[in-house]
Structure 1
Amino acid sequence: MSGSGDMRSRGFRGGHDGARARTLALALGVVVGLTAAGGGARAEDPRGYDAVAVQNRGYFGHHELGLAVGILPMDAFTKGFTLSAAYTLHFDPVYAWEIAQLTYAIPVDTGLKADLSAYDLQPTPFEVLETSVFTNFVLTPIYWKGAVFNDSLTRGEIMLLLGAGYGWFTRSSRPGFDAGLAMRLFMSEHVSLRLDVRYQGFLTTSDVDGALDLHSDLWIGLGLGFIL
């Protein structure tokens, strides 16, 4: 009787192990099948990469007129309050040419010269930028669309600019270059709010030793872009 019970016990365990093995093999087969199906679907994609949901840009126009107010904050003695106008030709949603940006600067005395004069100190005179004109290559690598408090949609862009120009100072004029970053928020199809931050460098030679002199400025502008 004991031997018969041992045989039944071993048979039960063997059957149980066999059922578990069959279940494991079936589950493994399902996983392998799903993986192969997913790989086949990706292989059939002619692009060769996983699909990404990218939407076309909602707003685009070839011609843009920009108007902005700004500041030149780097001079400790005289800040510049600026008025700017620009025209940009957009070739496509990514590449554009800012044909001309004209800026007029109104000098604002900070009072630092008077403070130094009170201590019989005479600061070294620096030239102040009065007018500048630049032309820039514009690259727009980032475009986004998002929700504002889950109530409305907003669209925007981030732009990179690089170009050359010319500046007129209080006593001289100089060629220059600029590089910057701009962010745009669309208020409607044809009107956008735009913030620009641009480094401006103007080159000349020293009157004393003829060495190359670089006058650096930072222009921060806030304005509107009108797109047609």
Structure 2
Amino acid sequence: INLGFCGNPDAEEHVTAIQERIFHRHHEVGLNLGYIPDDDFYYAFPVGLSYTYSFNDHLSWEVVRAQMALNTEKDLKDNLESNFGVTPQEFSEPKYFIHSHLVFKPSYGKDALWNRGVINHETYLFLGGGMVNYERDYSYGSSDSENAPSVSFGFGRKYFLNQNLCLNLEVRDTVTFKDDKTENNIWFGVSFGFRFNLSPRKTDQDSTVELLNHYLRDRDNE
């Protein structure tokens, strides 16, 4: 007796293909440019360098991101003095940023550009901490500085331009714990990264070991 099962011949089988990530590199050195729009008295443009080590396709460590702020004054101070006759007692200007982050990379894909080419990309999340240096100017005395601890987190999209170059677009939220208050700033950034692997170091081979290897190979050939 033959027992059989007949399926629906019209049923479609769904097949999913997942491509391996083809642009993995262990090291990335980045040139970063940012914009902080919500500081009270300054338009801040952080510029700096970063180094990131990638453990695998899903986890990286931005070991250091060091930036210097290029600032221009807003009109708020002049408006307060001209319209309200009030002079702020303290002006806190961001000067330097140093942070380190863990980077999680859950998403990877590629887009077609006007049907003329394909660009690969990955989406990443990051969380870390560091320090922000402020220069404080007072209307009633000399200036001083403050190093305030901060927490930084956000998300970004990395576009792989080729095997070694990438373009990163990021949105960061930095919470800084200053002496007199806690300050929260949004950071929009773009960076260009150079990605690479280190070649294995060549080692000198012991002549005795080399002779022994030749001897063993000759014995195997006999």
TM-score (structure 2 length as normaliser):
0.76
Larger radius of gyration: 1
**1: CA distance between counterparts of 2:89 and 2:39?**
12
Which ranges in structure 1 are unaligned for 5 or more consecutive residues? 1-31, 43-49, 207-212
Offset at 1:123? 3.3
Aligned pair partner of 1:105 in 62, 69, 72: 69
Q: How does 1:170-185 map to 2 (within 5 A)?
A: 170=135, 171-185=145-159
List per-residue Cα deviations over 1:33-80 (Å, max 9, x = no partner): 224997xxx9xxxxxxx7521101121100000111111111142111
Query: What amino acid is aligned across from residue 105 of structure 1 in structure 2?
Result: A
Greater share of strand: 2
TM-score (norm 1): 0.74
- Count of aligned residue pairs for this structure pair: 182
**Cα distance in 2, alignment partners of residues 172 and 114 from structure 1:** 25
- Equivalent residue, structure 1, for 2:17: 53
The residue type equivalent to 2:7 in the other structure is: L
Distance in 1, matches of 2:67 and 2:188, equals 12
Say if 2:36 is the partner of 1:72: yes
Q: CA deviation at 1:128?
A: 2.0
**Per the alignment, do residues 178 and 52 of structure 1 end up closer, same or farther by CA in structure 2, a change over 3 Å counting?**
same
1:132 is matched with 97
Partner residue of 1:223?
191
Residues 1-228 of structure 1: pairs in structure 2 closer than 5 A: 33-35=6-8, 51-119=15-83, 120-123=85-88, 125-170=90-135, 171-206=145-180, 213-228=181-196
- Aligned partners of 1:83, 1:91: CA distance in 2, in Å? 26
Which residue of the partner structure matches residue 10 of structure 1?
Answer: none
Change (3 A) 1:34 1:72: same
Unaligned runs of 5+ in 2: 136-144, 197-222
| Higher share in helix | 1
2-structure distance, mates of 1:76, 1:215:
10
Whole-Å separation in 1 of the counterparts to 2:115 and 2:73: 46
Q: Counterparts of 2:182 and 2:79 in 1: how far apart (Å)?
A: 27
